[in-house]
Structure 1
Amino acid sequence: MEILLVRNYFKEGTNGALFIKNTFFGFTIELPWIDNIKNKSCIPEGRYVLKARFSKKFKHHLILEDVANRSLILIHPANKAKVELKGCIAPVSYLTGIGKGLYSKPLLEKLLSICHQAFERKEIVQLLITSS
């Protein structure tokens, strides 16, 4: 299964749109692009394998594998990129500004449900990140 993330870059942050099977799914917020600097930048465009992950802090969420020069890049809930993210991706139901959104947890739960169904079918789940 492929999930498409189409980004728009701004100085203050990065906003994106998620598509699953060519259907709009929701939005994303991220840090601005600052040359892939750890904890300050969103990650490079590309194709990444997603895996399920659990932590005390974020509970159930997703992790991206094999991100160049980075580790622990997650898809987890957040509503303000500059405050709550360190290079990760947050799904949001609504955009309220650049790098800002609302209702992140409900959209992540929907995304997790779709991904876990694919995992149960033994499918590889990939995130393709591009820009418009």
Structure 2
Amino acid sequence: MVLVLNRTYFPEGTQGVLEWNGTIVCYTIELPWLVNQRRISCIPEGEYILQKRFSPKLKWHFQLMDVPGRDLILIHPANDAKLELLGCIAPVLVHTGIGKGSASRKALEKLKALTKKAFEQNEEVILKIQLKTEVL
């Protein structure tokens, strides 16, 4: 299973559209691109294996594996990138501003439901992060 995150970069934050098979699953918010600096930048574009992860604070969420120069990069609920993220990705149902969104927990549930079967069948789940290109 390959999920595609198409990003648009702004000085205040990074906006994304997460798709599977050409269909929008949800939107994303992230910190701005600051050359992959830990805790203050979004991560580099590329392909990352997703794994399910559990923590008492966040419950079930996802972790991106083998991010260059970074560790513990997660996909978890947040509605304000600058206040709630340290380099992670937050799914949201709607963008409300640059690096801001709403209904993040609902968006994560939608993403978990989509990937559930793939994880149950031990299928590899890949997140491909790329620059959004305009279609003319």
Instruction: Calculate the TM-score normalised by the size of structure 1.
Output: 0.98
2-structure distance, mates of 1:49, 1:3: 10
Bigger mean CA deviation after superposition, 76-85 or 114-123: 114-123
The one-letter amino acid of 2:94's match is Y
Contact 2:25 2:110 in 1 (8 A): no
- Aligned equivalents of 1:51, 1:79: Cα separation in 2: 22
Q: CA RMSD, aligned part only?
A: 0.6
- In the TM superposition, residue 121 of structure 1 has moved relative to its aligned partner by 1.7
Secondary structure at 2:36 match in 1: coil
Cα displacement (A) at 1:122: 1.9
Aligned equivalent of 1:35: 35
- Say whether the 8 Å CA contact 2:77–2:91 is kept in structure 1: yes
In 1, the alpha carbon distance for the partners of 2:117 and 2:53 equals 15
Q: What does the per-residue CA deviation read over 1:90-114, in whole Å, with 9 as the maximum and x for residues that have no partner? A: 0000000000000000110111122
Instruction: Quote the residue 2:94 is aligned against.
Output: 94
Q: CA offsets, 1:55-80, max 9 Å, x none?
A: 01111000000000000000000000
User: Which shifted more, 17-26 or 41-50?
Assistant: 17-26
Letter matched to residue 9 of structure 1: Y
Aligned equivalent of 1:129: 129
Paired amino acid for 2:80: K
Partner of residue 77, structure 1: 77
Other structure's SS at 2:79 match? coil
TM-score by length of 2: 0.95
- 1:51-66 to 2 correspondences below 5 Å: 51-66=51-66
Instruction: Give the equivalent residue in structure 2 for 1:109.
Output: 109
Match of 1:20 in 2: 20
Aligned residues: 132
> 1:116, CA displacement in angstroms?
2.0
Structure 1 runs, 4 residues or longer, greater than 4 Å off: none
Give ranges in structure 1 of 5+ residues lacking alignment: none
Distance 2:58 2:122 in 1: 24
